[in-house]
Amino acid sequence: MAPSSPEEPEAPALAARLWNRQLTHYPENRKRYSYLAIVVLATISLYYQLYVQFAVATPIMAHYQMTFTFFVYVSVIGNVVGAFASLLAGLADRWGRANLVIYGLLITGLLVTFVLPHAPNKWAFVLISALVGFVEGIILVATPALVRDFSPQLGRASAMGSWTMGPVIGSLVVTVVTSNTFHGSTTWQDEITYAGISGLVVFVLALAWLRELSPKLRDQIMVSLRDRALVEARAKGLDTEQALTGHWRQMLHLDVVGSAFAISVFLLLYYAAVGSAVIYFSTVFGYSVERANAVLNWYWAANAISLVVVGLISDRLKVRKPFMLIGAVASVIVLIVFALHATEPKTGYYTFALLAAGIGITGGFTYAPWMAGFTETVEKRNPAATATGLAIWGWVIRLVVAASAACLPLVVSSVTPLVGHGAQVAAAAQEAAPALAIVKAHPQIFAELAKYPPGTAPVAVQQQAAQEVGLPGLGTVQKAGPQLAVLTKYGATVQQAAAKNPVQWQHWWWVCLGGQLIFLPFIFVMAGRWSPRRAREDAEAHELELAEQLRQLDPEPV
C-alpha cells in the first residue's frame, strides 16, 4: 500500500489557518524536521526569557532593594504557578499542542519585552514573573509532546536531546549575551528586553509554519518511520475519546510519577546553575557578573553537545537505561570533586571551567536518554495520554524547583548580607583605609571618643586625642565618618557572612549530590531494555510484525 500524500491542503480562511493546524497525514522528513526545529527554537527562546533575570540577579536585587531571600521567592512563586499550569497543559491531549506553544510565545514575548523590565516595584516584578512562569509551565508540557508526536521511538533520544537543548541553549544564550553585553551603559532592563524580542521573533516563525498531528495519528505508538502507513490506516478507525478514558488514572503509577520525581531531584544542580551560580561565584570568589557567566558558558556548551551526541548513540544502540546509569554515576563523581573545591579560595577559573564542562557532559549523558525513556514509559501505559504523562512530569519538576529554591536561602543564609551590603562595605573599607589605620594605631583614645556623640567629648578627652593622634590624623578620621559608620553598622555582619558563605554553599552541593543518588534506583522501573542485543531483536521482531500487518491491509507488494 503506497503511503498517503504528506501534503496538507490549506484552509481557505485566514482565521482557520491561524488556529486549525492539524495534519491528517504523517509528514515527510523535510516537513517533520522543520516542525521539530521550530519547537526547539521556541524552547530556546522561552528559556532565554525565563532565565535572563538570574544572570543579572545582583543588579535587579539592588534596583528593587530585594534581599536574596525575596529574590529567590520570585522564582519559588513562578515555579509553583508553573507547576499547576503544567497540569492544565495535560488537556493538550484533547486541545492539541501547537496553539498552546504559539500563543504562549506571544504572551511571554509581550510581557518580557514591554512589561517586566519596567515593573514599578518589586511586587509588580513578582506578579509579572509569575505570569511568565504560568505560560512557561504550559509550554513545558506542549513542546516535548510535539517532539514525541513527530519522532518515532527509534529516533526518540536524539529528538529529545535536541528538545532538551532548548533550556540548555537558552541558558547558554543568556550567559553568552550577558557576558558580552552587560557592561558600560547596558542595564539589566536591556538584557531582559533582548530576551523578549527573541520570543516575539520566534512567535512569528511558529505562527507561520508550526503544525501538529491530528489526534488519531498522535494517539498511536510509532516505533519507526516504516510504521507510517500502518499508523495512518489505523487512524481511520481510532476512537480518540475512548483512548482518553481514564488517562489520568493510567499515569498515576511508580514508573511515571516516581521517574518524574527522580529526574526532578537529579536536576537540583542544574537549578542551582540556572538560578544561583552567578551569586555563588560572585559572593565566594569575587567574580563579576560577566566572569561568572563566562564560567557557565563551559557548562551549557558541553551540556548541549552531550545531549545531541548521546541521543544519537542511544538511538543507534536502541537502549536508554545504560546511558542513564553511566551518566548519573559519572555526574556523582564530578559533583563530589566540584563540592570539595567549593571552600578552596585558591581554586582557579579554568579549574571551575573544566569541572563545569564535566558536569555538563555527564548531565547530558543522563537526561537525553531519560526523556526518551520517559515518553516511551508513558506510551507503554497509553500513547493517547502522552501530554497527560508529561503534565505530571511538568507538575512534579516545577514543585521540586520551587521547593529547592525555597530551601536554598535556609541553607545558604550568608548570601543576603553579602549581596545586600558586601559591595557597600568593601567600598567603605577601601575609602576609609587611611582612617582605619589611624584608629587601629590608637584604639584606646578612639574607643573613648566613641562613647560620645561627635563634638561632645569632654575637653580633656579632645586634648588627649589631639596630642596623641594629631590634628591631621583626627581630620582624616572625621572625613571618613560616613564610611566608618557603614563599617560599624554592617562590617561585622558581612565579615561573618563571608566566613560562613563557602561552607554553606558546599552544604547545598551535598544536597544536590543526594538528589543524584536518589535518581539511580528509579532507572530500573522505566520501560526499555538494558541490552543492545535484546533491543535490536525487539526491533527486528517489530519489523516482521509490521510487514505482516501491512500485507493484511494490502495484499499487493509494498
Q: Tell me: the pLDDT tens digits for 340-363?
A: 988 888 888 899 999 999 999 999
Per-residue burial over 355-380, b = 16 or more CB atoms within 10 Å of its CB, e = otherwise:
bbbbbbbbbbbbbbbbbbbbbbbbbe
Give the DSSP letter of residue 523.
Answer: G
Is the separation of the CB atoms in 343 and 356 below 8 Å?
no
Q: Which residues pair with 22 in a beta bridge?
A: 212
522 plus 535 within the same structural domain = no
CA distance 496 to 267: 31
Highest-confidence range of 79-83, 324-328, 428-432, by mean pLDDT?
A: 324-328
126 plus 180 within the same structural domain = yes
> What mean pLDDT is reported for the chain?
83
More confident residue, 399 or 342: 399
Burial class (CB within 10 angstroms; exposed 0-12, middle 13-18, buried 19+) of 456 = exposed
153 plus 200 within the same structural domain = yes
Quick check: is 202 in a domain? yes
Asked if the model's pLDDT at residue 299 lies above 80, the reply is yes
**CA distance between the termini of the chain:** 5
pLDDT at 456: 80
Q: Comparing C-alpha atoms, which of 188, 187, 191, 182 is closest to residue 289?
A: 182
Residue 314 — very low, low, confident or very high, per pLDDT cuts 50/70/90?
A: very high
Quick check: is 352 in a domain? yes
150 plus 205 within the same structural domain = yes
CB atoms within 10 A of CB 171: 29
The CA-based angle 282-283-287, given to 5 degrees, is 25
pLDDT over 90, % of the chain: 31
Quick check: is 268 in a domain? yes
Query: Angle of helix 492-522 relative to helix 277-284, nearest 10 degrees?
Result: 140
Quick check: is 9 in a domain? no
Q: Comparing C-alpha atoms, which of 342, 341, 319, 339 is closest to residue 331?
A: 339
pLDDT at 396: 92
CA distance 456 to 86: 66
Is the separation of the CB atoms in 126 and 70 below 8 Å?
no
Query: Angle of helix 29-55 relative to helix 57-64, nearest 10 degrees?
Result: 50
Asked if the model's pLDDT at residue 334 lies above 70, the reply is yes
- Residue type (1 letter), 84: F
pLDDT at 11: 44
pLDDT at 244: 53
Asked if the model's pLDDT at residue 449 lies above 80, the reply is no
pLDDT at 237: 54
Asked if the model's pLDDT at residue 6 lies above 90, the reply is no
Tell me the CATH number at 122: 1.20.1250.20
* Gyration radius from the chain CA atoms: 29
360 plus 330 within the same structural domain = yes
pLDDT at 525: 95
Strands (E) in 385-538, as ranges, are none
394 plus 538 within the same structural domain = no
418 plus 546 within the same structural domain = no
pLDDT at 229: 57
281 plus 313 within the same structural domain = yes
CA distance 292 to 286: 9
Asked if the model's pLDDT at residue 12 lies above 60, the reply is no
522 plus 536 within the same structural domain = no
More confident residue, 410 or 330: 330
CA distance 369 to 310: 8
Q: Comparing C-alpha atoms, which of 242, 266, 279 is closest to residue 54?
A: 279
Question: Domain count of the chain?
Answer: 2
CA distance 517 to 231: 40
Task: Read off φ and ψ for residue 287, nearest 5 degrees.
Answer: -70, 145
Instruction: State the cell numbers at 381.
Output: 501505559
SS3 state of residue 125: helix
549 plus 400 within the same structural domain = no
More confident residue, 511 or 228: 511
Asked if the model's pLDDT at residue 240 lies above 60, the reply is no
pLDDT at 111: 96
Residue 10 — very low, low, confident or very high, per pLDDT cuts 50/70/90?
A: very low
Q: Tell me: the pLDDT tens digits for 255-277?
A: 999 999 999 999 999 888 877 88
Asked if the model's pLDDT at residue 14 lies above 70, the reply is no
Q: Tell me: the pLDDT tens digits for 149-202?
A: 888 867 777 888 888 888 878 878 888 888 888 877 789 999 999 999 999 999
Quick check: is 59 in a domain? yes
SS3 state of residue 39: helix
| Percent of the chain that is helix, strand, coil (3-state, to 5) | 80, 0, 20
Quick check: is 403 in a domain? yes
535 plus 412 within the same structural domain = no
- Residue type (1 letter), 241: E
Domain containing 393: what range?
Answer: 26-230+245-422+496-527
393 plus 518 within the same structural domain = yes
Asked if the model's pLDDT at residue 526 lies above 70, the reply is yes
- Residue type (1 letter), 248: W
Quick check: is 456 in a domain? no
Q: Where does residue 184 fall: left (phi above 0), alpha (psi -120 to 50 degrees), or beta otherwise?
A: left
Indicate the pTM of the whole model: 0.77
Quick check: is 517 in a domain? yes
